[in-house]
Structure 1
Amino acid sequence: MEKLLKIMHRLRRECPWDAKQTHQSLKPYLLEETYEALESIDEENWDELASELGDLLLQIIFHSEIASEKGCFNYDTVLEKISKKLIERHPHVFDKEIVKNAEDVQRNWEHIKVKSEKRDSLLTGVPATSPALLQAQRLQEKAASVGFDWDSIHPVMEKLEEEWNELKEAAETGSLEKIKNEYGDILFTLVNLARFLHIESEDSLRLTNKKFIKRFNYIEKKYDNDLNAMKSAGLKEMDRLWEEAKNKE
């Protein structure tokens, strides 16, 4: 770690590109590296994951170096804060708190977080910039930590059917505002359903996107990436190739 810190310190002094970066200019890279790490996990490419985690660590070092130059904080501050947080939020490990299961641990984490950070709301800690599906799941998890939740998956299924009917009614009105609201309600309920099924909505959709890309690429290759040929073939023929690609998986 000391070696990496020294490298970054030197880059900030001697490399024109590194020297001109700011917290704001680095935001896209932080997000990009995070998603590249997620992709490595999805593909179970552990060598690549090691590389991507290094890229993520670089972003942490980079931001810490910039903050240090401004006299705000440094890398040691980052380590101190996360160490303190982990100890405070695991009283069942570092103190005498008793928990029965992982759900108890999560509830304690949320309650300690609200108390220690003096937040006005349990939901304040969910970043507004989070991907919408992830944001919805975190909001639901936090609300559930104080008992605002369904008792089982069955009411969620019923709620989904209710929201689906409301969307159909909204679609018949032609009102984009109503359609948008009802569609959002369906997505929120689907996220809730995913939570009861113990899966992450964001992960599920990302995997489906990946599957779509793979199958569509199969169709493209059949037409040698000739877009005009694809248009001429029509939906029925391309759908046949889609099923062909699906059966090869």
Structure 2
Amino acid sequence: MNLLKFSAARLKLLLQLFGSFARIGPVSFGGGFAMLPILEREIVLRRRWLDEDEFGEVISVSGVAPGGVGVNAAAFIGYKLGSVPGMLAAVLGIMLPTFVLVLILAIGFSAFRQYPKVIAAMEGIQMAVLALIAYAGLKLLRSSVFDGASLTVFAGSIAALLLTGIHPLLVMVLGVTAGCVLVLAKGHFGFAVRFEPKKRRRERSADPAVPRYPELECYFGEGI
């Protein structure tokens, strides 16, 4: 009986992962960082599989890892919730419907691309994608830049990207190094070291018993 309950609960989670990411992929025009607002709404606000801090960490790692941000995020979230089967369900969910849709568009777009209304629609989509990327950037900025040290690394990274010809990968490596050095230096000289905004820490400590993964409790136990 317990085995049947375990299998049913696990299957339900896998179907939910596939369904959630299958809905996200086809409606996320621009892909990558443009899909982050939709991804956050589904994963953090609707499903409550992750909180905002965990979601920010997943996006940070997804952005520096090879491959698309959306697919990487799906893989990380799926693995966190359901191990390898969860990762496969999430990645298939975000890729399969999008692949079919893009295939259909690629076949039909060449026949209609010269029409003025189609051109106008594409220009409108570009502006919408720009707005989505800006929104995602502001959300990450709020959760990542919260003291002088993180602001220094952020400003230095922006300056390096805009004013020099340094490769973005090197900028990321230098940012990681600078962050580690600043944290060690602050600890050495006796300054307080923070890794998240004060408001988030108060919210997290105020209600530690709220489960973040309700779908997993039925076969992993409470308190996850």
**TM-score, normalized by length of structure 1?**
0.26
**TM-score, normalized by length of structure 2?**
0.28
Higher relative contact order (CA 8 A, sep 6+): 2
Structure number with bigger Rg: 1
